[in-house]
Every structure is written in structure tokens, then in C-alpha cells.
Amino acid sequence: MLERTRPNDLSSFWMPFTANRQFKQAPRMLVAAKDMHYFTDDGRKVLDGTSGLWCVNAGHGRPKITEAIQRQAAEMDYAPPFQMGHPLAFELANRLVDIAPQGMDHVFFTNSGSESVETALKIALAYHRVRGEGSRVRLIGRERGYHGVNFGGTAVGGIVANRKMFGTLVAGVDHLPHTHLPHLNAFSRGEPEHGGEDLANALERLAALHDASTIAAVIVEPVAGSTGVLIPPKGYLKRLREICDKHGILLIFDEVITGYGRLGAPFAAEVFGVTPDIMTTAKGVTNGAVPMGAVFVKKEIYDAFMTGPEHMIEFFHGYTYSAHPLACAAGIATLETYREEGLLTRASGEIGQYWADMLHSLRDLPHVIDIRNIGLVGAIELEPIEGQPTKRAFSAFLKAFENNLTIRTTGDIIAMSPPLIIEKEHIDQIGDTLRSILKSID
Ligand SMILES: Cc1ncc(COP(=O)(O)O)c(C=O)c1O
């Protein structure tokens, strides 16, 4: 391992989504990573139970991806994406369309999940306007949804702590109810049985309340990730699709977490048999190695913009780093790695079953009130300590890291999403570690 010393002053970096004071008193420093593991500055090998932040789907330090980035940095570091192009951008877009649900034929590149969401929302609004339906200005999200941290995404998102500090956000937004029904569906394996149709029918009520002709789009995560792995009850997404079709509302799937094999198919759209009109992705598109996002749209949407004088820009939107050459090189190498190792479907096979078995074997441990799983994602919901919400799960997170395992926590929920290269021995290790932690925390 590389020798690194801990920087002795941690004060300048305002860390994102972090308890800064707690961290700076007892830092958790990662200095290297390979395959299923991180290495810490105090020499420990830590099993990555979360694929970094749900992004390192092929595991860490994969040679093909590293080499592609190195090669591209030496060959052409940067190319402007406005009114200019470079071959890798077109090649990556084509390869992405090859694995996308049928009919999603065009890709707009961004640099993150948050930017993908803003891009999708703007495409939706602009699409209706270019078709002469400019009255469709409302956006519908969902309670407990997470769509990144920019203004549009925060507005359609439904996590209270992420919203309450930031004023009125974006006007004209409403929310569907969240899909977590523990009284009906606790300890479900895969898709829960109950409540799907009723929950989706709430969209009919919003369409009636606002008049459907004012609604541009509905955005949902097929499986809500950051809020603690909420898996939609059976029939929910199909019903949303039906209602959107009936009223001419675009359906956006935010697949920033669920994309690129996490649920056992390239995208969740395939797993649930529902094709959206727009699909936002990021994270796994480059295996987390270079920031990138990719927004997929149906042909009809792209075509609607391709009108007017040919010398005119059709869509006034884009980023300096859209289709960055290093990201494109990483993306192509990532897709090759996924294909060569069968990673985009691996979670649907035996390893996914083993993962589910391990998770549900934890059911009788102290504090556990629900366990959920789908693909290579899992969540364990803990009973909160009275008057101290989030504390119990945060203790579990700290204990897990001390015991050489990374997990994520949100509220009092432990969420896990290991790299798709995981083997049974790693799953056993996760199970053993969680068992001992849940027995030892208050
Ligand atoms: C569903 C979803 N959308 C958007 C985002 C935001 O992505 P980023 O942090 O890359 O901006 C995330 C991040 O976790 C996500 O899970």
C-alpha cells in the first residue's frame, strides 16, 4: 500500500452530508481501494458494503477503467462539448443506448445525478412547450424521494431535512405519497405485496386537483435508495405508467442508484417491466471513477426538439464538462467490464439469493423492525431510540467501520449496496459483522 500521512489540519474542508465536528474528532480516512475493499490510513482492510456511494458497481481499481482514463488524459484532456464533438462521446452514447430499454434512443451527458435530474426536468418542461402544450408546468415528485441537491431535484425530492432550510425551492411542485407501508409489508423479500395500486392512484387525485393539463412530469426512483431502500409494492410502477399515459404526463425514472446492474438487469425499468419516457443515471456509468451522468430520452422527445432552422441550437442547456473525454473513456471501459464479467445481470442470479438469505437471517436480532431486499441492495430498519432518532443507526455505522465494514445509514435505517463482484465469503462477513454489531449497540 502507498504510504500516506494523515493531513494534520482538517479544518478547511467543509465536508458534504457529514457530521463535520464528529468526523474531525475521529476521522475515518480511506487512502486506497481495490476490488471489494478500502484501505484506511491506519492500515486496515475494510469491506465496501456500499459500493462507495452506490457507484462502484464493478469494484475498485479495475485495470481496464484505470488504463482508459490514463490513456485519455494523455491523448486529449478536454474538448468543448458545445458546437464541437469528440468520438468517444458518440461511442459511449451508442453503447448506452444498446443496453437501455427499447425506444430510449438518445443520451444527454451531465456530470452527476443531481445534474441529470435538473436536465430531465428541464427537458420535460421544454418538450411540452415545443409541442405547443406550454401549460404543462407542474412537476410531481414523491415523499421520501431523493433526486440530488440542486433546486429542481430538492423541490421534487421528499426528504424533509434536505428541503426545510432552502426556502420555497421551485414553484408548482406537488408530491405523491411515499411507498413505505411497514404495517402491511414488513420483512418482504423483493417487491412487497400490498398497496401498490392504491398508492399509485394518488396520481389520479393530483391530476384532478391541478388539472392534468398543467402537469409536465412525474419523477420517481423505481426503488427509493437514499431514503432507506423503499421497494415499490407490486403493480405500483405499472399503474403510474398507465395514469401518466392517460393524461399525457411524462414519466421520469431516476435510476441514479438503480441503473447499471444494481437490481439484476441493466436498468430497473427492465426489472419492473415499465419503460419511462426519460431516465436519469449517473454513478455506475463510470463505475464512480470520473464524475458523469447520462439522461436517456425516448426518440419522440428528442425528435420534438429537432425542428426549426438547422443552424439554431435546439435545446439551451448543457455543461462545460458534458461528455468530458476522461468520463467517456471511463464509461466505455466500465461498460466493457460489466459486459465481460456479466455484472449487469449478476444480482438476479444465485448471488442475489444468497444476499437475500443473509439479510433475512438477521430478522430476530435486537432493534430490527424491518428488512428489505432487491437485487444487490438491502436495508435493515431499526427501532429508533426514544427521543434520539438516527442515533442507533449512526452507532451501528461507527461500529461497522471499526469492524472493517462500510454501511450507509439514513434515519434509523442501515442501507447496503455492495459491488456487483461480491462473493459469498464477503456476504458471510457482512452478515457476521452486522450480527455482532446489532447485539452490541444500545
Ligand atoms: C436517485 C438519485 N438521484 C440523484 C442523486 C444525486 O446524485 P449526485 O450525488 O451524483 O448529484 C442520487 C444520489 O445518491 C440518487 O440516489
Cell of 29: 480516512
What is residue 196's three-state secondary structure? helix
Cell of 106: 438518445
Query: What is the number of the ligand 1 atom nearest to the C-alpha of 221?
Result: 1
What is residue 199's three-state secondary structure? helix
Domain-located, residue 200: yes
User: Which of these three, 341, 362, 395, is where a domain ends?
Assistant: 341
**CB of 270 closer than 6 angstroms to any ligand 1 atom:** no
Whether 349 and 333 map to the same domain: the answer is no
pLDDT digits (tens, 9 = 90+) for 275-321: 999 999 999 999 999 999 999 999 999 999 999 999 999 999 999 99
Domain-located, residue 310: yes
Query: What is the number of the ligand 1 atom nearest to the C-alpha of 283?
Result: 10
pLDDT for the residue 8: 73
Whether 314 and 375 map to the same domain: the answer is no
Distance CA 388, CA 377 (A): 26
**CB of 117 closer than 6 angstroms to any ligand 1 atom:** yes
Whether 296 and 420 map to the same domain: the answer is no
Q: Are 338 and 260 in contact (CB under 8 A)?
A: yes
Distance CA 201, CA 214 (A): 18
Domains held by the chain: number = 2
**CB of 191 closer than 6 angstroms to any ligand 1 atom:** no
Query: What is the number of the ligand 1 atom nearest to the C-alpha of 148?
Result: 6
Domain residues for the domain of 27 are 20-61+344-440
Whether 75 and 54 map to the same domain: the answer is no
Cell of 44: 486496515
**CB of 367 closer than 6 angstroms to any ligand 1 atom:** no
Whole-number Cα distances in Å, 234 to 195, 198, 385: 8, 11, 32
**CB of 215 closer than 6 angstroms to any ligand 1 atom:** no
Whether 90 and 117 map to the same domain: the answer is yes
Whether 131 and 260 map to the same domain: the answer is yes
Beta strand 413-416 with 293-298 is unpaired
CA torsion through residues 203, 112, 267, 355, sign: negative
Domain-located, residue 4: no
| CATH code where residue 367 lies | 3.90.1150.10
pLDDT in tens, the chain (442 residues): 455 555 679 999 999 999 999 999 999 999 999 999 999 999 999 999 999 999 999 999 999 999 999 999 999 999 999 999 999 999 999 999 999 999 999 999 999 999 999 999 999 999 999 999 999 999 999 999 999 999 999 999 999 999 999 999 999 999 999 999 999 999 999 999 999 999 999 999 999 999 999 999 999 999 999 999 999 999 999 999 999 999 999 999 999 999 999 999 999 999 999 999 999 999 999 999 999 999 999 999 999 999 999 999 999 999 999 999 999 999 999 999 999 999 999 999 999 999 999 999 999 999 999 999 999 999 999 999 999 999 999 999 999 999 999 999 999 999 999 999 999 999 999 999 999 999 999 8
How many other CB atoms are found less than 10 A from the CB of residue 208? 10
CA torsion through residues 13, 15, 21, 23, sign: negative
Which of 131, 78, 58 has its CA nearest to residue 287? 58
Beta strand 278-281 with 293-298 is antiparallel
Query: What is the number of the ligand 1 atom nearest to the C-alpha of 224?
Result: 1
What is residue 37's three-state secondary structure? strand
Domain-located, residue 119: yes
**CB of 110 closer than 6 angstroms to any ligand 1 atom:** no
Ligand 1, atom 7: nearest CA belongs to which residue? 113
Whether 309 and 401 map to the same domain: the answer is no
| 393 Cα to the center of ligand 1, angstroms | 21
User: Which of these three, 295, 319, 341, is where a domain ends?
Assistant: 341
**CB of 430 closer than 6 angstroms to any ligand 1 atom:** no
| 75 Cα to the center of ligand 1, angstroms | 30
Amino acid identity of 98?
A: D
Segment (H or E) for 328: helix 325-341
Query: What is the number of the ligand 1 atom nearest to the C-alpha of 226?
Result: 16
Domain-located, residue 11: no
Whether 336 and 406 map to the same domain: the answer is no
| CATH code where residue 237 lies | 3.40.640.10
Domain-located, residue 192: yes
0.85 surpassed by pTM: yes
Whether 34 and 75 map to the same domain: the answer is no
Domain-located, residue 399: yes
**CB of 113 closer than 6 angstroms to any ligand 1 atom:** yes
Q: Which of 53, 54, 109, 146 to mutate to test the pocket of ligand 1 (most atoms within 8 A of CB)?
A: 146
Distance CA 251, CA 242 (A): 10
Whether 358 and 418 map to the same domain: the answer is yes
| 109 Cα to the center of ligand 1, angstroms | 15
Query: What is the number of the ligand 1 atom nearest to the C-alpha of 257?
Result: 16
Whether 181 and 285 map to the same domain: the answer is yes
Helix ranges (DSSP H) in 171-295: 182-185, 196-210, 236-247, 268-272
User: Which of these three, 307, 341, 375, is where a domain ends?
Assistant: 341
Domain-located, residue 6: no
pLDDT digits (tens, 9 = 90+) for 126-157: 999 999 999 999 999 999 999 999 999 999 99
Whether 296 and 400 map to the same domain: the answer is no
